[in-house]
Every structure is written in C-alpha cells, then in structure tokens.
Copies of this chain bind each other. A is one copy, B any other.
Amino acid sequence: MMLASDTRETAAADSGTEDFGPRQADVLEAALTLLVEGGDKGFTTARLARAANCSKESLYKWFGDRSGLLAAMVTYQASKVRVAGSLNARPSAEEFKRQLTDFAHDLLTVLSGPTSLALNRLAIGEAGRTDAQLGHLLTERGRRAIEERAKKLLDTGKRAGLIRFDDREEAFATLYGLIVGDMHVRMLLGETVPALAGDAAISAQAARAIGKFHRLYAAGDDMTTTA
C-alpha cells in the first residue's frame, strides 16, 4: 500500500519529473496493480476509481485523460526502478565480468517482472494506433536508463583494456541480444520461459550470455576459460 511518502527533492534528471503527490502515487500504484492482474482489458477508469477509493472526476482532474493516466503510470513506474550500479573506474577482469553479469541479471529480472510486462503489453497494444506515443515514452523512460548504465559499463571495460570495440552502439546491441534473445517477446506473448524461472535460472542465463559476450569482445586471449 504505501511506500513511505517519498521525500524526494531534486529528482530532476533530464526532462519531465513531475513528482506526483502522495495521493496520486497511491492511485498510480493501484492502477499498476490493476493493470498487472487485468491487462488493458481489465483496466478501466471506473475500476481504478473503485480500487483506489477515489472518484473518476478526480482521475480526470489529475491526469486529464485516459492516455494521460497511462503516461503517468509509465513515468511513475520508471521513477521507481532507478537503479544505480556501483561503478569502479578501474576494475579487474573478474570484477568487470562480475559487473557485466550483475547487469545481465538485473536486466532479465526487470524485463521478466509482471509490471514491466504489463506496461510493455499496454504500450505495444497502443502502438498500432496513435503513433505509439506511449511506446516512445516507455522506451525513453525505461530503456534509456538501462542503455546508459550498460554503455557506461562498456566504456569502463574499454578504458581498463579489458574489452575492445569500435562501435559502442553495436557492442551494446550485441550484449543485449546475447542476454535477452527472444525471451522478452516470448514472455510478452504469455509464454513461461524456463530460462527465467527463478533467480538461479536467471543467474545461469546471465552468466552464459556474459561468457559469450566476453568471447566476442575480450581484449586479451583468455577466451579459453569457457565453461
């Protein structure tokens, strides 16, 4: 129910950052819960009003519109998953690999989370019409953070002489592809992916992916250490 009222000041990162009073946060929390267990079909203003103990009129006063409400849900959820990886400017090889593996683990955990899946389903469903305003918002708010973290990680590895690449974009794309593969789409389609069932499986998948990435991008020739 309540995550203790956020005393966040200076949350300003780049753009947007409306901080949603505590009442609105509660409503958005209820909205996400409703969306997770009902899909966009089960998510309606009347139901949300009942679930959040507020009136529909207030919903429209606060968020203006249904799409405004959805947008608010996206930014609200994105503001919750702000993760910060501990960075070491000059990591050892093992340390770096560990950081990469942690990144992969976090990425898989986030992507397989029910809230992420529900929001992505919603945005994808809406992407057919209205030119994907919500999809853009989702990629902007959700993916950007991940991409930033990964690229910082890659730069660190390159500076430390541990990995080698020319195109950082391409390296990131490869890393992402190796970690996630088609599992994201399969989960979005409702399948249960065995490689992501439980934390142990996720860790195994992360380790496998990072092993391959290392064999592709390692600066040295220690690629014989494959499991």
Residue positions of A touching B, CB distance < 8 A: 38-42, 118, 120-121, 123-125, 127-129, 131-132, 135-136, 138-139, 164, 166, 170, 173-174, 176-182, 184-186, 188-191, 208, 212, 215-216, 226-227
Contact = CB atoms under 8 A, between A and B. Distances in A.
**Oligomer copy total:** 2
B128 A121 contact: yes
Contacts of A186: 139
Nearest to A215: B216
Among A118, A124, A136, A216, the one with the most B-chain Cβ atoms within 10 Å of its Cβ is A124
5 contacts: A39-B128, A173-B181, A174-B212, A177-B179, A215-B215
Given A139-B189, A186-B139, A129 B38 contact: yes
Secondary structure of the A side of the interface? helix
A181 B185 CA distance: 11
A212 B216 contact: yes
